[in-house]
Amino acid sequence: MKLNNLASSLLSLVAVADAASLTQVTNFGSNPSGARMYIYVPDRLQTNPPILTAIHYCTGTANAFYTGTPYARLADQYGFIVIYPESPYSGSCWDVSSRATLTRDGGGSSTSIAQMVRWAIERYNADRNRIFVAGTSSGAMMTNVLAATYPDLFKAAAAYAGVPAGCFYTGTVAGWNSTCANGQSIASQQVWAQTALDMYPGYTGPRPKMMIYHGSADTTIYPQNFNETMKQWCGVFGYTYGSPQQTLANTPSAGYTKYVYGENLVGIYGSGVTHNIPVNGENDLNWFDGIKGGSSTPTTTAVTSSVPSTTLSTSTRTTTTSSTSAPTPTGCTSQRWGQCGGIGWTGCTTCASPWTCTKLNDWYYQCL
């Protein structure tokens, strides 16, 4: 009995030693911003595995995003790799505001994260057609930036409570742009699209399909940023902002509305959801083609049409309104805490009883 117990204890120790854990990688190649790389490789890995890059919020860490989101648990279930980058800056926000990070291989944080992904692809012989990225808040901002700067690297993205790529530009590293955060950076879909396209000039190949989440009660990154981000990717993919192919209530769960513009763009808007928006890992995996197993056919959508050029300046983006307004949906109502108006708003303008559409500022009216 004692020998059996000893053998059992030794086997348990071996199992613990072999168990997957979050591990830091320090030699992943060029790292111009000094970002830190952590990786989670499950014990049971797919052949030619997919990779998901999961990017934390301001004040967050790689470990916080590892423990606070479902991606690692889902990686155990489906056998994909998760990369958790960690910001090198005070406050742990990502640099989504410097010209370097908003330029392909420009030497900013976006370059460092791309290097992490490239290293993991080579190290684990990953499937290049199943490389994905997701992030929350500052991490969502970086997700949109990576989709613009490295469209050939990622196949799909999910951004929670972020802003359009380029919206946070200040000309400084890890700068804070209040105009953007407060939902006051408003432009046409053509201008937003060109802002993204200019981050990788001349590129006309496939681009990652985008899923954009936001909450109507977000007072950190104002809800207008949902509209502006949707405009940006509508412009990139050639959709018309304000005219989704489908509008699905209580999807993917109660209180959320899903706007389907096409196979490359989906918006998910949560009524009454604050900046503390929950990560829907299962829904993300359904969006990431092939991550649950098997190969996937890469998206072939390419941008061939040009849109009016715009350039980033060291001053805050000029606030404008789109030259054409999208049709306002009819026969719909916003629930309590939902948005019901404001500059650029194209959603429901009627509040469910007994709530009243109340102006909070020029850009945001809410059912209160």
Kindly tell me if the per-residue pLDDT of 341 is higher than 80: no
Residue-wise pLDDT tens digits, 309-337: 333 433 333 333 333 233 344 456 666 65
Report the range of poorest mean pLDDT among 30-39, 97-106, 331-340.
Answer: 331-340
CATH number at residue 225: 3.40.50.1820
pLDDT in the model for residue 325: 32
Q: Mean pLDDT, to the nearest integer, of 107-114?
A: 98
- Asked if residue 314 belongs to a domain, the reply is no
Claim to verify: residue 205 and residue 354 sit in the same structural domain: no
Asked if 157 and 211 count as a contact pair (C-beta separation under 8 A), the reply is yes
The residue from 33, 92, 137, 271 that is catalytic is: 137
Return d(Cα 40, Cα 326) in angstroms, integer: 43
Comparison of pLDDT for 365 and 92, the residue scoring more: 92
Asked if 199 and 103 count as a contact pair (C-beta separation under 8 A), the reply is yes
**Pairing outcome for strands 265-270 and 81-86:** unpaired
Claim to verify: residue 254 and residue 337 sit in the same structural domain: no
DSSP string, 113-176: HHHHHHHHHHHHT--TTSEEEEEETHHHHHHHHHHHH-TTT-SEEEEES---TTTT--SSTT--
Rounded to 5 degrees, φ, ψ at 123 are -65, -40
- Asked if residue 17 belongs to a domain, the reply is no
Claim to verify: residue 186 and residue 56 sit in the same structural domain: yes
pLDDT in the model for residue 24: 98
pLDDT in the model for residue 335: 63
- Adjacent-strand bridge partners of 23: 39
**Cβ-based burial of 331 (10 A; exposed 0-12, middle 13-18, buried ≥19):** exposed
Claim to verify: residue 218 and residue 346 sit in the same structural domain: no
Comparison of pLDDT for 71 and 329, the residue scoring more: 71
Most confident by average pLDDT, 11-20, 60-69, 293-302: 60-69
Comparison of pLDDT for 293 and 199, the residue scoring more: 199
- State both tokens at 89: 């800056």
Return d(Cα 284, Cα 287) in angstroms, integer: 5
Residue-wise pLDDT tens digits, 204-233: 999 999 999 999 999 999 999 999 999 999
pLDDT in the model for residue 355: 73
Return d(Cα 273, Cα 268) in angstroms, integer: 11
Claim to verify: residue 356 and residue 262 sit in the same structural domain: no
Residue-wise pLDDT tens digits, 141-192: 999 999 999 999 999 999 999 999 999 999 999 899 999 999 999 999 999 9
Q: Mean pLDDT, to the nearest integer, of 14-36?
A: 83
- Asked if residue 52 belongs to a domain, the reply is yes
137 is catalytic: yes
Claim to verify: residue 239 and residue 113 sit in the same structural domain: yes
- State both tokens at 314: 């060291």
Asked if 149 and 312 count as a contact pair (C-beta separation under 8 A), the reply is no
- Asked if residue 48 belongs to a domain, the reply is yes
Cis peptide before 50 (omega within 30 of 0): no
Claim to verify: residue 259 and residue 341 sit in the same structural domain: no
Report the range of poorest mean pLDDT among 57-71, 103-117, 353-367.
Answer: 353-367
Kindly tell me if the per-residue pLDDT of 65 is higher than 90: yes
Rounded to 5 degrees, φ, ψ at 59 are 75, -5
DSSP string, 1-66: -HHHHHHHHHHHHHHHHHS--EEEE--SS--TT--EEEEE--SS--SS--EEEEEPPTT--HHHHH
- State both tokens at 243: 């005219």
- State both tokens at 26: 């320090």
Nearest to 146 by CA among 132, 136, 167: 132
Claim to verify: residue 233 and residue 361 sit in the same structural domain: no
87-117 burial, b if ≥16 CB within 10 A, otherwise e? bbbeebbbbbbbbbbbbbebebbbbbbbbbb
Domain that holds residue 183: 22-287
Kindly tell me if the per-residue pLDDT of 366 is higher than 90: no
Asked if 111 and 75 count as a contact pair (C-beta separation under 8 A), the reply is no
Claim to verify: residue 206 and residue 271 sit in the same structural domain: yes
Report the range of poorest mean pLDDT among 89-93, 103-107, 303-307.
Answer: 303-307
Claim to verify: residue 58 and residue 148 sit in the same structural domain: yes
Q: Mean pLDDT, to the nearest integer, of 132-148?
A: 98
| pTM, two decimal places | 0.80
- Asked if residue 274 belongs to a domain, the reply is yes
pLDDT in the model for residue 326: 34
Residue-wise pLDDT tens digits, 260-319: 999 999 999 999 999 999 999 999 999 999 999 865 443 333 433 333 333 343 333 333
pLDDT in the model for residue 172: 96
Domain end position, chosen among 232, 256, 287: 287
Q: Mean pLDDT, to the nearest integer, of 89-112?
A: 97
Claim to verify: residue 153 and residue 212 sit in the same structural domain: yes
pLDDT in the model for residue 29: 93
- Asked if residue 209 belongs to a domain, the reply is yes
Amino acid residing at 334: S
Domain end position, chosen among 233, 252, 287: 287
- Asked if residue 7 belongs to a domain, the reply is no
Q: Mean pLDDT, to the nearest integer, of 230-247?
A: 97
- State both tokens at 198: 């200019």
Comparison of pLDDT for 342 and 337, the residue scoring more: 342
Claim to verify: residue 338 and residue 274 sit in the same structural domain: no
* Mean residue pLDDT across the chain: 86
**Residue 93, SS3 per DSSP:** coil
Query: Into how many domains does the chain fold?
Result: 2
Return d(Cα 162, Cα 196) in angstroms, integer: 15
pLDDT in the model for residue 294: 64
- Asked if residue 326 belongs to a domain, the reply is no
Nearest to 294 by CA among 117, 78, 73: 78
Q: Mean pLDDT, to the nearest integer, of 30-47?
A: 97
Return d(Cα 286, Cα 275) in angstroms, integer: 23
Kindly tell me if the per-residue pLDDT of 357 is higher than 50: yes
